[in-house]
Each structure stands twice: as structure tokens, then as C-alpha cells.
Structure 1
Amino acid sequence: MSIENTQAILTSHSVTITDIKAAQQRLLGIVHHTPVITSSSVNERTQSQVFFKCENFQRTGAFKFRGAYNALTQLSTEQKKTGVITYSSGNHGQAIALGGKLLNIPTTVVMPEDAPPVKQTATRAYGAEVILYNRQTTNREELTKGLAHERQLTLIPPYDHPHVIAGQGTTALELIQEVGELDLLLVCCGGGGLISGCAIATKALLPNCRVIGVEPELADDATRSFYSKTLQTVHNPNTIADGARTPSLGKITFPLVLEYVDDMVTVSESAIIRTMLFLWERLKIVIEPTGVLAAAALLEGVITAPGAKIGVIISGGNVDLSQIGELLTTRYYSR
């Protein structure tokens, strides 16, 4: 089956709570049931009750393993034998690589040359072939599709795929099953796979819970798309939140965001860094810049909801510790 026909079939499918619950069963015993952490200092600061769903403790250090593994398990025998390819700034690539290793599926990951070294190293360590490209001169989607056609590999994109979206939705499903009612759920947004899946799960279980997406000011394509109702793009945004450097929402995720998400907001680079360091200090856990986007909106006062019960998805923890000094001296950072 050609890539074009496969994409057409995928686009025609919607994602439902049934798909997300089926994904949860598929992932049972494979993914980590990640912890939910609370902090009295955070509750005091926000005047609300906050529950952090810590996907930085997930396998490969991010929520991406949920969607990648769910998609890989549903490939045909022939597709598994031939292998898969994806493009990723790091976390999805690691997830595909580990999933492929567990399922004995050959994997190839197209990554930008400036992807954090820790993510490149981990992806190779899980057994994937890593192909690097220059973000300034190369379109990663076109490069990957060309390689997929040339090598007859199955493309599993990082967010615009119903099986990936369903897998990511298990993050919110787990959170709600553990803590019960929520008034508000805050989720980071790059290509929209996580927020789409989480919003679908949340609206099915808690119809009155508001779902708000958060992205960097420097990569605000999803926010602009949400308000204009027209798909917007951003070219190679220079944000420290590398997981949110996607050019736009996808053909599948864009309509899902419009249907299920209640609002979209942005946070500054300095807010991202301040929040990351604050959570390192107070929660005693390592979180990457993209991973703190949702928390930054709450802790920096972009979103206020006194007295509310709030879920916050911490999406990942794959930060390159050797670059912390650089982050602290960046022009974006201020206490």
C-alpha cells in the first residue's frame, strides 16, 4: 500500500474514547503507570489543588512511548518485518526506537542535527538508525517520505496518526482514573497528538472539565490556528522547548483540537526556564523545557483558577544536563 493511500485512510478515521481505552489495554504492563505528584507550595502559590501527571518517568523519559508503542503493535506482519521510519526532534524517535527493539521491528529515525545530544544518543542506544538533517535547509517530512518510499518502510509520524493520538490519550485517562474529578486540565502542545488524545479522553469522562493547551510564544502556530480556525504554520521556531518546534498542527490533530480543546495560550522563554528550575527545586524531579509548558502557564499566572482542581501534564524529562549553564545565561532567562 502506498504512503499516500495509507495517509488517506488514516485521515478518514476519528479517534474516540473507545480507541483510547483499547490502547490502554494494549499498553498494560508495557508502559509505566506514571506517578501523580502534588506540592503544597504550588497549591499555595496558585490557590488551587494541582496534580502533576509525571510523564518524565515514562519509558524513554516522555509520554511519546505510549503512542509509538500503540501504533507499532497494530502494524501488519509484513510491515513489522520491513521496518518503520519516523521524523522527530527526539522524544518520539526514542519511543519508536525502544518500541521497535521490544517488538523486533527495524527502526529509522530522521532527526535534526541540533537535536539535544542526549536524545540522539538514546535513540541510537535503543537500536535505531539515526539520519541527521539541517533544519534550516531541509524539510523533514519530505526527506522522511522519500526515504520511506525508497526503502519501503512504514511511516509513523510523531503526532498526526490516530493510533499515536489514542496512545497519548491514555495519559489523561490514567490521571482521571487516579484523581477523579478535575475542573481544568493543562497540556503542552507541539503537533497536537498529546493534547488531542488527552482532550478526547477528558471530555468523554469529565464533560465539564476545561482543557487548555500551552505552547511557547515563539512557536504559537497552534494558538493562532485555534483562534483563526485556519491552519497556521511557523518555520523553525527558535524556542528552547524543542519538542514544540513542529511547524503546525496536523491534518488529523487540527480538527480534533478545534472540537475538543477549550482554549490555547502561550508562555515566554523566560517563563519556561523559571518554571523548569522551580519544579526541579520544589518537586525534586528533572523536567525538560517542553515538559514544563503546561505548568508554566499556571505558575506564571497566564491561567488562574483559584479553588479549582487542576491536572497538569508534565510531558517529559529528557533535558541535556550539560546545557543547563547555557540556559541560565541565555538572554531569555531572568529570575
Structure 2
Amino acid sequence: MHKIGVLTSGGDAPGMNAAIRAVVRKAIFHGLQVAGIKRGFQGLIQGDIIDMDLGSVGDIIHRGGTMLFTARSDEFRTEQGREKAFQQVQEHGIDGLIVIGGDGSFRGAKLLSDMGVPTIGIPGTIDNDIPCTEFTIGFDTAINTVIDLVDKIRDTATSHERTYVIEVMGRNAGDIALVAGVSVGAESILIPEEKYDMIKVVEKLKRGAARGKKHSIILVAEGAGKGFAIGEVIRELTGWETRVTVLGHIQRGGSPSAFDRMLASKMGAYAVDLLKAGERAKMVGTMGGQLQATDITEALATPRKPDLTLYHLADALSI
């Protein structure tokens, strides 16, 4: 192997730049050339590819987003689009590819690997919704962003004695709502993986009010329901003034936490080691704090479940 390519795909996540930096510098350390592919698989199809050196990744470890940019590609979903991507790989002399992204990005990586391009995936998504790894790059930063914002909202909720419904990201996975909800002491946490009863949610709010509680926080993952709809139900059942805040894309931005910088650096370097060792169609992950490689096919086929012990703990602590 003489030259590797690196791209970011799907939604951006804090720490992606740290992973790019680790890939580039570890590869150069081993005497390899590195090609940076801009705008994900679409950029690969279009040949939007640059040579990268040590200076290319200077002063980026602390920056959110991705210096290689990211985009979704409908064209890559077609056989013709993938053939164009494969031709660009050959024309640029790329011997192996590292893809940083979520499950959709990993599916693309597997397809390229099936075409003969050794490919390694690095899980980069704030949702923490990739099986076969304890953490994905960006998750820790996202939950700390949510915690900081909810703490600020709580000050206003206390001052005005109001109930606040706060909607966070998580269309199919409730990890952000779950971990942040426990960390801020939310009265209720609503996630798409668990059914909930709004009557019981309201009963808990009323019990708190009866013992003198002046405010309440409801944290809801977007896949579990819309914040404004849930706020309206609470108003209808209680008559209380309820406020709704949708945190939105602010959760994806910002400087990555120390944990995400370290995780991204370790995963990026390990991905290079896997390519050098002749591995292909593997995903980098961590279990028990240790790096491991899993077949992408296995990772995509493994049911991904949230930590429901944490969910039940949150329910117990918010009585």
C-alpha cells in the first residue's frame, strides 16, 4: 500500500477533523501518501481530490465540523455512480480508503470494498447509533452541548416557574436524550426505543408540583415525538404555561471535547494500521475502552439497543 484516501460523509460531528488529522499524520509517519476526498462519496465521483501533507491538517484538532466537507450522494446509490467512484480511485492511485461517518457511510464503504477497494470505516456521528462500539466520534461533545444549554434553560424555568419541553436530536436513537437527560436530572426522558404514556408523564409532573417543585424539564428525542406537540398535550392536561425549545443543529457544532479528540485520534491511527495490515471492510470501534475491528457487514446487521438500565435509573431518580 502506497497511497490511502480519506473522506467524511453524512452528518458532520465534532471530532471528525481530529480523525482526519490522525489518519493523515499516521499514514505519513509510515511513509504513505494521503489523498483527501472532499464532499464525501459525491466528491469521489467528481474527482474532488487533493494531496494532503502534514501542513494540511495543522491547527484543526480543536475545530468542529469537517475540513473535507460532507455531502449526501444519490448518485453513489446507483451502480453507475459507484463505477465512476471506482474509476477515480484507480486514476488517483488510491490503494485503500478510510471513511468517517455513520451507518449510511459504512454501507457505501462496504460497496466499494466489494468492488476491490480496501476500506475501513470510522464511526463519526453525534447520535451514537452505530453497533459494535461503545462510543462514536462526536457523541460526547453533543451531550455536553445539550447539558450546557439545558442548564441555562433551567435558570429561566426556575425563575418563571414553568415546565420546559426540550427537543434534542435522535431520529432513530435516543442516546443524546437519555444520557443528557440523566445528567441534567430531567423529570421525564422520551426516546424512540421505548413507548411512553403522556398521562403518566403528566402525573409525574403533578406529583412534583404537589410537593412544591417550581419547574420541570422534559427531554425528548426528535424520533420520539415533536417537542411542540408534547408541550401542547401538557398544556391541555394541566393548564400550565409550558415552553418548548428545539435545540436543532447547534448540537452538531462546536469544539470537540477532550474525549472526542482522544477517541478520534486513536481511531484514525488504528484505521491506518488496519489498512497497512491488509484488512478491508472493517469498522473501528471501542469495547471496554479497547480498540477493536469488526466486519462492517456484522456491524450493520447487529441490532443496536440503548442502555435501558440508564433509562430505568432516570425514571427512578425523577420520582
TM over 0.5: no
- Bigger CA radius of gyration: 2
Q: TM-score normalized by structure 1?
A: 0.28
